[in-house]
Structure 1
Amino acid sequence: MKPILNLDEITEFDDVEENGLYTSKRALFSASIGARQLGYNLTVLPPGKAQCPFHVHHGEEEMFLILDGEGELRFGDQRYPIRKHDVIACPTGGPEVAHQIINTGTTEMRYLALSTLAEVEVCEYPDSGKVSLVTGRRGEPGLHKIFRAETTVDYYDREKS
């Protein structure tokens, strides 16, 4: 295993989304360079697209380095223009650090994404009121559920009394 990868040599993308606004391609390469506690990927966003819905992590912190293109960062209740060589910190927390990158430019946006890897991760999606719960190491079986936040039940719901 070689611990080095040149981003210009990436030609295969193993995570491709084509879902309206959420259209992107990502090359996930953490394991191939020997990473154990951090996740790495190269993301390519076409103009007018976002990689994922507006969200906030409770277990994993993210960092993004814009390599090419320009766009907008939604962060909490703010919007910031972003461009080549901007470094973006997305810490864990609540709605005040929810985030989303949108390509508002006319050319493809490319960025390097880096995140810590948590064995238990909870994400909230403020725009849609969803919650995601994921357990286990990446690539291994675990629990993965997405549900609407308003479906909260009592602690003893469906338990025998």
Structure 2
Amino acid sequence: MSSPQRIVNIADLPLRDGGNGKGFQAKLGRAGPLLGLKKLGCSLTIVPPGKRAWPFHRHHVMDELFYIVSGSGEVRLDDRTLPVRAGDLIANPAGAEAHQLINTGTSELRYLALSDIETVDIIEYPDSGKVGMAAGVRGGDLSSASYKALGRVTPADYFDGEMGDS
């Protein structure tokens, strides 16, 4: 295994396609693993005009901080929509407002997403009523989780469906 770099230029990050190819589109580059970071995530997100990278969501465990590198757009924070531009920092503390960055500009919106790395997270999606949960996450990559689920929760009593003593 090669040793991690200590300096990475964001222009040199390997990028992969993200989104659904429709309203959600982005190029994503993970810097954290290249730098050998274990407790801090750092990714570059590049969003084309008129698109967004992710659905409107709220993390209940992980903090996120976005730094707008270039471009402009809007951030949704619960029921508010605010303009953002290069140089802006946007805080998304765990359990606070749901958030989403939207590229409303005419050029690419580039931002760094910084987050603490946790092994568990609960993610709420207010627009669709979904909840995502993951446990056993390795290296900040939710797809690596030993348990993950995404769906809509149906309320139930604690003992509902459990086998009781006879």
Q: So what's the TM-score if we normalise by structure 1?
A: 0.91
The 5-angstrom pairing of residues 85-124 of structure 1 reads 85-94=87-96, 97-124=97-124
CA RMSD of aligned residues (A): 1.4
Distance (whole Å) between structure 2 residues aligned to residue 63 and residue 93 of structure 1: 14
2:137 is equivalent to residue 133 of structure 1: no
The one-letter amino acid of 2:24's match is: Y
Name structure 2 gaps, 5 residues minimum: none
The one-letter amino acid of 1:157's match is: D
Distance (whole Å) between structure 2 residues aligned to residue 77 and residue 85 of structure 1: 23
Query: Which residue of the partner structure matches residue 9 of structure 2?
Result: 6
Give the drift of 1:28. 1.3
Find runs of 4+ consecutive structure 1 residues off by over 6 angstroms.
none
Distance (whole Å) between structure 2 residues aligned to residue 18 and residue 146 of structure 1: 16
Distance of aligned partners of 1:19 and 1:123 in 2 relative to their CA distance in 1, 3 Å threshold: same
User: 1:13-53 CA deviation, whole Å, 9 max, x = no partner?
Assistant: 13522331111110112111110101110000000111111
The 5-angstrom pairing of residues 7-156 of structure 1 reads 7-10=10-13, 12-94=14-96, 97-138=97-138, 140-149=144-153, 151-156=154-159
The one-letter amino acid of 1:14's match is: R
Distance (whole Å) between structure 1 residues aligned to residue 92 and residue 53 of structure 2: 15
Identity level (%) = 41
